[in-house]
Amino acid sequence: MLCLALFCLFDPRAVDGDTIASRLANGESISFRMEGIVTPERGHPAFNETKAGMAELVDDEMLACDMTDMDRYGRPVVVCTLSDGSDLGALMVLQGMARDCPALSGGRYANEEATARSLGHDLSMVYPVLPSYCLETIR
Domains in the chain, please, with CATH? 7-135 (2.40.50.90)
Strand partners of residue 23: 29
Look at residue 138 and tell me whether its pLDDT is greater than 70: no
Q: Is the pTM of this model over 0.85?
A: yes
Q: pLDDT value at position 139?
A: 47
pLDDT band at 118 (very low <50, low <70, confident <90, very high): very high
Q: pLDDT value at position 126?
A: 87
**pLDDT tens digits for range 70-104:** 998 999 999 999 989 999 999 999 999 999 999 88
For the chain, what is the radius of gyration of the CA atoms?
14
* Cα-based distances in Å from 93 to 15, 43, 73, 119: 17, 20, 23, 12
Q: What percent of the chain has pLDDT over 90?
A: 64
